């Protein structure tokens, strides 16, 4: 069984939580005691119908205010696949949560209210999906029951969306489904109210959609960031030295010639281990430990790459798209801690090249700071050279976060362009 | 074409998280309860650092109301792994007057554990406690991070959690603060059992069906052990039961079951319509009781 991670974007009004509740409920992933608890809580709130949103909005503040504040993770499985949903709030002040949920997703569900069509919020959600490089976008046109399941209106929304997506230069694969989350049409069971729609239900799509990009990771150049050095220093293993990490791209085989970055030293792979088990090859995203032929200096933060294949960029001047997360605005020339998957250095933002107006997607120049939820292209200079790929080419080695050196909070995220 | 199974992908993620803990913290510990989740976390730690020993001690918060089988299993595992065991005792916290024992029929030491846990963390200066909590267990846990920050009072602030993107974890903190780390966040109960089956991990006998003296309270079977006070109308009977979760005796519901082995358990869970925490008296105290306890510093 394979794993599919997807994220949902949309506001409460679009019926996002209802949709998730529906997926869980109709796939029998909700248990009796959970349903009882939700029924009870709905009654306590004076709701006439069972409010499935209460399944996912678990925090006290969320239940009180009837909104989703944070990313909630939900799990369900069908006989075909296991799913992880990152359920994120849709309001503009929660852009950072949406970015967080999107960072690991294979697919994004974007909800559109059939009565309103493509609105500003749709544009924003789609832009974030593109920014985070989500390979599949499934547009669910919800509340079809309120427009009489009109094919004409559905097709108009599809046309509008395609046009908007093309303007954005998105490479994601698009899918469109007319649904009613409230009544379940085309979510898990096919609807008989939209006979003109011949595509599958949302569940069928989730179960069958190709996650080729996961295998695609194997066609990428080999990348193994070194996380930890295993040195038992015991009688049985006196000189044992293995480099532990999680494959971040491509395939690694025993005998491969590897280069260590940033030092540039080279060696060959002597063995690949998973605990006691010795492997012939390691695939992305497996966690392994690697023994090399030569005794060379390698520590946490270094990256092993294929000596013959395409090399990552090693440099100190980076251009990236950045999303700011903190109430404290980003300051130019302030020293932030910059952290990739395992490497860390100090970085200074030298310039805000432009900020993206999240409503119109127009670039705005002349900014000298970024506020919470802003998205911008920035130029960063780092204290030490970093080895990285372009985010478009590798989501693992092209991403980094900014940490405030005073509060230690994670204040921003960057997707490297070059 | 190579396809990674969901169990392999989850395992890879958890091992990655455990190695991050070893790399980013100075004094981590594994919170070991003797339940299946902390057993799986310990097993994953063994895999993550082999052939080196697990670079963290196991920390057990002992309520004094443990099943004997749990303690036996714990001691055998510690010996097998040549690991270090640290025990924080709730009885000691009570004796020292740090906490006050609850009274009444539903008295439980579940909540008192929080004080013992925080005291032990402070005493040993643990800067990261690795737990087996999963996001599918409970709605407040669904919002939990892999690396979850705790302030100097051990409190969780759900409204101001650090964003966690990709697989980049930020374990930086000020003096006196610590982290809770949950390597199997993305696993479900079914994943845990399928993994135990796949890896043939030895489990405490409590998880398999056995005859036990028990009694029924509010539709829930509980073990008739000396630490339980029976109401006048409650009768002790012998039933074939097993534990679906293992915690303190006072809040561990027993399931009437004929599951003799791992295959039986997986089949039973696939068919069940009640969550595993459905049998946990501690979660039923209010609609957001888990969130409220977690804010105080609970597991």
Chain B residues within 8 A of A61 when measuring between CB atoms: 158-159
Q: Give the pLDDT score at B219.
A: 83
Q: b/e per residue, A285-306, with b = 16+ CB within 10 A?
A: bbbbbbbbeeeeebebbbbbbb
CB burial of residue B216 (10 Å; 0-12, 13-18, 19+): middle
**In sequence order, what are the residues at sequence separation of 6 or more whose Cβ sits closer than 8 angstroms to the Cβ of residue B205?**
B69
CB burial of residue B294 (10 Å; 0-12, 13-18, 19+): buried
Asked if A341 and A397 touch (Cβ cutoff 8 Å), the reply is yes
* CB pair distance less than 8 Å for A32 and B273: yes
Chain B residues within 8 A of A236 when measuring between CB atoms: 51
Asked if A410 and A401 touch (Cβ cutoff 8 Å), the reply is yes
Residue of chain B whose alpha carbon sits nearest to that of A325? B163
Q: Is B270 on the interface with A (CB under 8 A)?
A: no
Read off the pLDDT of residues A123-143 as tens digits, 9 standing for 90 and up.
988 999 999 999 999 999 999
* CB pair distance less than 8 Å for A342 and B165: no
SS3 A322: strand
* CB pair distance less than 8 Å for A82 and B278: no
* CB pair distance less than 8 Å for B172 and A403: yes
Asked if A298 and A228 touch (Cβ cutoff 8 Å), the reply is no
**In sequence order, what are the residues at sequence separation of 6 or more whose Cβ sits closer than 8 angstroms to the Cβ of residue B290?**
B138, B139, B140, B141, B283, B298
Q: Is B266 on the interface with A (CB under 8 A)?
A: no
Average pLDDT, chain A: 90
Distance from CA of B205 to the nearest CA of A (A): 26
d(C-alpha A304, C-alpha A267), whole Å: 10
**Averaged pLDDT, A373-395:** 94
* CB pair distance less than 8 Å for A227 and B159: no
Q: How confident is the model at residue A46 (pLDDT cuts 50, 70, 90)?
A: confident
Residue of chain B whose alpha carbon sits nearest to that of A246? B16
Asked if A137 and A9 touch (Cβ cutoff 8 Å), the reply is no
* CB pair distance less than 8 Å for B191 and A82: yes
d(C-alpha B138, C-alpha B245), whole Å: 13
Q: Give the pLDDT score at A330.
A: 97
Read off the pLDDT of residues A59-79 as tens digits, 9 standing for 90 and up.
666 666 665 667 888 888 888
Distance from CA of B198 to the nearest CA of A (A): 13
d(C-alpha A63, C-alpha A60), whole Å: 5
**In sequence order, what are the residues at sequence separation of 6 or more whose Cβ sits closer than 8 angstroms to the Cβ of residue A290?**
A224, A242, A243, A244, A245, A252, A269, A271, A272, A273, A282, A304
**Lowest pLDDT segment from A210-214, A224-228, B115-119:** A210-214
Distance from CA of A149 to the nearest CA of B (A): 34
d(C-alpha A20, C-alpha B49), whole Å: 38
* CB pair distance less than 8 Å for A274 and B47: yes
**Averaged pLDDT, A380-384:** 96
Q: Give the pLDDT score at B288.
A: 67
Residues lower than pLDDT 50 in chain B: none
d(C-alpha A353, C-alpha A355), whole Å: 7
Read off the pLDDT of residues A279-300 as tens digits, 9 standing for 90 and up.
999 999 999 999 999 999 999 9
Chain A residues within 8 A of B152 when measuring between CB atoms: none
Q: Give the pLDDT score at A252.
A: 96
pTM over 0.90: yes
Top residue of A275, A321, A322 to mutate, by most chain B CBs within 10 Å, is A275
Strand blocks (E) in A157-298 = 173-178, 223-225, 228-230, 242-246, 251-253, 257-261, 266-274, 277-279, 281-283, 287-292
Q: How confident is the model at residue A58 (pLDDT cuts 50, 70, 90)?
A: low
């Amino acid at each position: 069984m394979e794993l599919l991670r997807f994220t949902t974007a949309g506001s409460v009004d679009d019926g996002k939580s209802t949709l998730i509740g529906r997926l869980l409920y109709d796939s029998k992933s909700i248990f009796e005691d959970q349903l009882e608890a939700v029924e009870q809580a709905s009654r306590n709130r004076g709701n006439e119908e069972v409010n499935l949103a209460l399944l996912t909005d678990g925090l006290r503040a969320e239940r009180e205010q009837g909104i989703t504040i944070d990313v909630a993770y939900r799990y369900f499985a069908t006989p075909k696949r296991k799913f992880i949903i990152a359920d994120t709030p849709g309001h503009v002040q929660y852009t950072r949560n949406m970015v967080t949920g999107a960072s690991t997703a294979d697919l994004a569900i974007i909800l559109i209210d059939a009565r309103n069509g493509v609105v500003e919020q749709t544009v924003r959600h789609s832009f974030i999906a593109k920014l985070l490089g989500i390979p599949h976008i499934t547009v669910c046109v919800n509340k079809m029951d309120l427009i009489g399941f009109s094919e004409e209106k559905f097709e108009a929304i599809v046309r509008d969306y395609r046009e908007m997506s093309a303007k954005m230069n998105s490479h994601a694969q698009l899918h469109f489904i007319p649904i009613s989350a409230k009544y379940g049409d085309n979510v898990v069971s096919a609807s008989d109210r939209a006979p003109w729609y011949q595509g599958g239900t949302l569940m069928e799509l989730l179960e069958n959609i190709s996650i080729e990009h996961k295998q695609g990771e194997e066609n990428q150049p080999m990348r193994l960031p070194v996380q930890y050095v295993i040195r038992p220093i015991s009688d049985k293993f006196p000189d044992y030295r293995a480099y532990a990490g999680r494959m971040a791209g491509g395939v690694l085989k025993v005998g491969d010639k590897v280069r260590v970055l940033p030092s540039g030293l080279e060696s060959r792979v002597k063995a690949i281990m998973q605990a006691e088990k010795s492997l012939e090859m390691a695939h992305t995203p497996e966690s392994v430990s690697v023994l090399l032929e030569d005794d060379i200096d390698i520590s946490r933060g270094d990256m092993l790459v294929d000596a013959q294949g395409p090399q990552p960029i090693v440099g100190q001047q980076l251009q990236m798209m950045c999303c700011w997360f903190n109430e404290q605005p980003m300051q130019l020339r302030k020293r932030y801690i910059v952290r990739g998957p395992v490497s860390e250095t100090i970085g200074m933002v030298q310039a805000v090249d432009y900020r993206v107006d999240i409503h119109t997607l127009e670039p705005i120049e002349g900014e000298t700071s970024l506020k919470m939820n802003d998205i911008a292209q920035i130029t960063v200079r780092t204290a030490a050279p970093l080895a990285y790929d372009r985010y478009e080419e590798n989501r693992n080695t092209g991403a980094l976060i900014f940490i405030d050196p005073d509060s230690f909070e994670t204040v921003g995220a960057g997707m490297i362009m070059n | 074409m190579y396809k990674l199974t969901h169990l392999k992908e989850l395992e890879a993620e958890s091992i990655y998280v455990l190695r991050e803990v070893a790399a980013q913290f100075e004094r981590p510990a594994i919170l070991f309860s003797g339940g299946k989740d902390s057993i799986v976390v310990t097993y994953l730690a063994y895999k993550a650092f082999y052939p080196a020993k697990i670079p963290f001690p196991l920390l057990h918060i002992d309520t004094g109301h443990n099943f004997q089988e749990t303690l036996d299993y714990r001691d055998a595992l510690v010996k097998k792994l040549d690991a270090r065991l640290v025990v924080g005792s709730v009885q000691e916290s009570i004796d020292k007057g740090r906490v006050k024992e609850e009274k009444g029929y539903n008295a439980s030491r579940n909540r008192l554990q929080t004080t013992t846990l925080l005291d032990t963390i402070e005493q040993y200066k643990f800067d990261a406690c690795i737990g087996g909590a999963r996001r599918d267990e409970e709605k407040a846990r669904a919002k939990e991070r892999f690396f979850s920050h705790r302030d100097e009072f051990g409190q969780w602030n759900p409204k101001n959690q650090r964003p966690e993107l990709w697989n980049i974890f930020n374990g930086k903190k000020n003096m006196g603060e610590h982290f809770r780390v949950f390597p199997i966040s993305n696993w479900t109960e079914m994943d845990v059992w399928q993994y135990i089956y796949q890896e043939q991990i030895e489990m405490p006998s409590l998880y398999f069906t056995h005859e036990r003296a028990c009694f029924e309270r509010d539709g829930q079977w509980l073990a008739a052990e000396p630490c339980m006070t029976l109401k006048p109308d409650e009768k002790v009977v012998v039933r074939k039961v097993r534990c679906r979760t293992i915690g303190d005796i006072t809040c561990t519901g027993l399931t009437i079951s004929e599951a003799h082995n791992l295959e039986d358990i997986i089949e039973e869970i696939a068919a069940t319509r009640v969550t595993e925490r459905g049998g946990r008296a501690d979660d039923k105290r209010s609609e957001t009781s888990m969130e409220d306890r977690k804010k105080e510093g609970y597991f």
